[in-house]
Structure 1
């Protein structure tokens, strides 16, 4: 069973809002065995909506539409859907009107007649009561295709998907099982990993697929299995995960997003009963943010400093003015003094410090854009490394964060 998601709204097409609805719907459909064939974003135009519905009907068995169900003139989804189903009769649902009035009463807002339109649905629609907002969802079934129209407000859409839409889909169709396992790797590029596991990938059975999901400093390897017998699928995919562990033992941190570098670093620090602190320049606190994103980080992360200027490096971390004058703020020497300064001030076992030139200008240094120095020190070891992360600015910052965490992790697993 395949589905298509259609999001309606000019605000999506011009980048005014980000379409998070499709991401959530796709994730939830996948959990019940429905594959998303296509995601389409279209403008608030009746003919465009009609064309999209017809094309989707020719491709898939489930079409989920979000957006355009409000009471104002620019919300035309209901009108377009009624035209698509040749349904000119609207039915008013008293329970929806009562619900809307109840919501407005809670906020001391008067009920206006324009709101009555939201309680009127095409006669061919099955009402999907929206307990979180004013616009109900609609369910249609025609020519062996299910059409579901939902409000675009994310929390309203999520409530309807979870409590109304998914149960009805599971009742309507016999669905296969889809199982995913995602292996987290770090410190190796996509092409390097692909070369190492080429034979493994070539020998995968047809019902198991491997996807590479690269991002800064890491690659996620997602194994997906689809079939009728859940137990067999789980056994097979677990065996394949074990094979990848044997092929890439030194770069795997664990399974799924729950095995991020920052989480593994936290686990290792807790196991060793050690603490860590940070001193950041170009990254502006992002290393700190990553570390504290893990629940329980307060047991090992003592804090950090964002010292963006030479003055703050000197005044807060005790970096020598002479060192900066001789080597510039972007140097191994300054990175090391930053790490020593924060480690001493916060009395931690480990410290991370980063300084570099993210661009677009070089400011008070002769180092080119993209040059970064990362220092990681412990009670008995000092590491300072130089990197050239190129351009643009965002790439330099993100790669600095990833590489700093990678160096710490490698030291902790020794």
Structure 2
């Protein structure tokens, strides 16, 4: 079945200078793909008419559908609407429905209506207006030479609503969409290259309509199998068979069957065991606790965290031995084990994770260079501790340490450690 390809163009100087992060494109990819539409490219351009036109012309050489976001506001730097009208060689007209909508918004807010706000109801003469019930700028739908060009506001909650309620349903009446299915396996404790070698025969035997992507992230690697065809049932069956073979091959390196995060896996395991968790964090500074509490309902199993950045807190709150700190230093196995055990005891939890390390950029030594991190997990069966020598900058060391700590707990909960 023929692919239906789309391209996203995001408009705005604020995107290019990093003042605003483009979350629209990621959401569009997540939303269009299950509908059978594959994004071929994502492009960000400045608030410049020539740049916008060039991006449109290049995109139309590649795709069936072009989705443009941004530049539809009421101010002078919002030029998308005029640029599109000039591109198609048409004028602007007032959309009465959009005009009444804008007037009603200002009337409800008891605000004066300015000329600049009325201009929001102007649209190119050759477009179909897309109602925006969450804002003042209507979207625009163009059909030209067998292609669809859609222009939408850059405000995420406005754009998302218009895509879901109008754009996707209308696209489905114009294009025959293939079925696209994904299957993700989360692995841990094995590097991307070693994992690739381990499942090489499976990857080489994949049929042309199924692709494999490796998605590494700190201590984990996601394997995403993507299949395209005409029958969801048949594709799911094929992906099930492939997933079964991979799981048999990688054994305990499998962390989860599904596109889930480690903190969610931890949550499910703790709830299943009716267990509780605490953390004692030094170099991670509460980041593990942040990840744990990012899961809704984490109050069912997470009691709290002691961020023991200083030795004084380690001694006073976690009952770490002053003599061990003096003899071995804060970044050491005896200390991190006592931190985990101290948090578990003080906070009364079933399990506890502790970290102590040197995140950098300074503070390292020849014996303990930057990236040296001790991590411990304490539970009913005892305490396990491991030394890690991590690479990267400060932020990377903190994030890697947190993910390794969570994965150690996952292995303990799964009886793999």
Q: Normalising to structure 1: TM-score of the pair?
A: 0.96
Counterparts in 2 of 1:365 and 1:354: CA distance versus 1, 3 Å: farther
Please give the alpha-carbon distance, in whole angstroms, between the structure 2 residues aligned to 1:300 and 1:361: 36
In structure 2, C-alpha distance between the alignment counterparts of 1:368 and 1:229, rounded to whole Å: 55
Check conservation: 1:184, 1:220, Cα contact below 8 A.
yes
Aligned partners of 1:329 and 1:364 also within 8 Å = no
| Contact 1:266-1:300 at 8 Å conserved across structures | yes
8 Å contact from structure 1 (residues 4, 39) kept in 2:
yes
Give the aligned length: 412
Q: Which residue of 1 aligns with 2:105?
A: 103
8 Å Cα contact 1:184/1:219 also seen in 2 = yes
Q: What residue in structure 2 maps to residue 128 of structure 1?
A: 130
Contact 2:352/2:377, CA 8 A, preserved across alignment: yes
SS in 2 for 1:59: coil
The 3 A distance-change label for structure 1 pair 268 and 183 is same
Deviation at 1:192, TM superposition (A): 0.9
Cα contact 1:69–1:150 (8 A) shared by 2:
yes
Partner of 1:188: 190
The answer for the alignment partner of 1:317 in structure 2 is 318
Q: CA deviation at 1:352?
A: 1.2
| Post-superposition offset of 1:163 | 0.7
Equivalent-residue separation in structure 1 for 2:207 and 2:394 (angstroms): 42
Q: Deviations over 1:354-406 (max 9, x none)?
A: 11100111179962211111111223312121111133111211111111111
Determine which of 173, 185, 199 is the counterpart of 1:197: 199
Counterpart of 2:142 in structure 1 is 140
Give the structure 1 partner of residue 34 of structure 2: 31
Equivalent in the alignment of 2:308 = 307
Secondary structure of residue in 2 paired with 1:74: coil
**1:249-302 Cα shifts (integer Å, max 9, x gaps):** 2122223333x3222223323333332211001111111122223333323222
Confirm or deny: 8 A CA contact 2:102 2:136 kept in the other structure. yes
Please give the alpha-carbon distance, in whole angstroms, between the structure 2 residues aligned to 1:91 and 1:345: 70
Residue of structure 1 in register with 2:114 after alignment: 112
Task: Using the TM superposition, give the Cα deviation of residue 329 of structure 1 relative to its aligned residue in structure 2, in angstroms.
Answer: 1.5
Separation in 2, partners of 1:286, 1:81 = 46
Aligned residue in 1 for 2:294: 293
The whole-number CA distance in structure 2 between the counterparts of 1:314 and 1:235 is: 56
Match of 1:407, SS state, is helix
In the alignment, the residues of structure 2 paired with residue 106 and residue 262 of structure 1 have an alpha-carbon distance, to the nearest angstrom, of 44
Please say if residues 364 and 370 of structure 2, whose CA atoms lie closer than 8 Å, have aligned partners that are also in contact: no
3-state SS in 2 of match to 1:340: helix
Q: Which runs of 5 or more structure 2 residues have no equivalent in the other structure?
A: none
Q: Is contact 2:267–2:301 with CA below 8 Å preserved after alignment? A: yes
Structure 2 residue aligned with 1:389 = 390
RMSD over aligned Cα atoms: 1.6
Q: For each residue in 1:165-207, what CA deviation from the matched residue of structure 2 results, as whole angstroms up to 9, or x when unmatched? A: 1111001111111111111111111111100110100010000
For structure 1, list consecutive stretches of 5 or more residues without a partner in the other structure.
none
Residue 85 (1) aligns with residue 82 (2): no
**Contact map agreement 1:92 1:120 (CA 8 A) in 2:** yes
Q: Does the alignment pair 1:338 with 2:365?
A: no
* Structure 1 residues 257 and 237, CA gap change in structure 2 (3 angstroms): closer
